[in-house]
Amino acid sequence: MIAYYMDVQHSITVHLNHDPMQQPDEKPLQQKGQEPQPGVVDFNHLRSLLFNDTDYIKEMLQEFLVAMPANMQEMREAATQQRWDRVAFLAHRLKSSLGIVPITNAMELTKDLEDKARDAGEARHIPGKVEGLATLLEKACNEIRSEIHKDSFRS
């Protein structure tokens, strides 16, 4: 599916969400001139989303680094206690942070986790999904820490 978006300068950019002809093992198509990011956090999209305001970006990322480990710990505890309604709530809450800090596959994993946690018949999958999400978010937090320490985010 192709969606068109107007950016701040009113130029049109093409976002390729899904190519129905793409084989499962193929990488998604890149925009012309767009370099793929090596990590899981899309800092270019974050800069664009927050109008390249480095002070605000740094503040948002620092808040993310404080909140995310605590949120994941709470989600792990809820999964251990088999409190699936709590896991679903925490996954739902997490989606707002992931809307600001774009992390490859995190939103999809979180939505899937929320759906599975709401369906008691899918309970056996939840602990593994929580751990998979936690691993991805740990990697993202490490990338964010590294990015914050680069010159581009120093005040």
At position 59, the amino acid (one-letter code) is E
Nearest to 41 by CA among 97, 95, 103, 132: 103
Say how many C-beta atoms besides its own lie within 10 A of residue 129's C-beta: 21
Return the pLDDT at 145: 95
Return the pLDDT at 32: 39
Return the pLDDT at 154: 58
C-alpha span between 29 and 41 (Å, rounded): 18
44 CB contacts (<8 Å, ≥6 apart)? 37
Q: What is the CATH number of domain 39-153?
A: 1.20.120
In a structure prediction context, what are the per-residue pLDDT tens digits for the chain, which is 155 residues long? 333 333 333 322 223 333 333 333 333 333 334 454 569 999 999 999 999 999 999 999 999 999 999 999 999 999 999 999 999 999 999 998 998 899 999 999 999 999 999 997 889 999 999 999 999 999 999 999 999 988 566 55
pTM of the model: 0.72
Instruction: Please enumerate, as own/partner, the contacts of 145-151 that have beta carbons within 8 Å and a separation of 24 or more.
Output: 145/65, 147/41, 147/43, 147/61, 148/58, 148/61, 148/62
Domain boundaries, the chain: 39-153
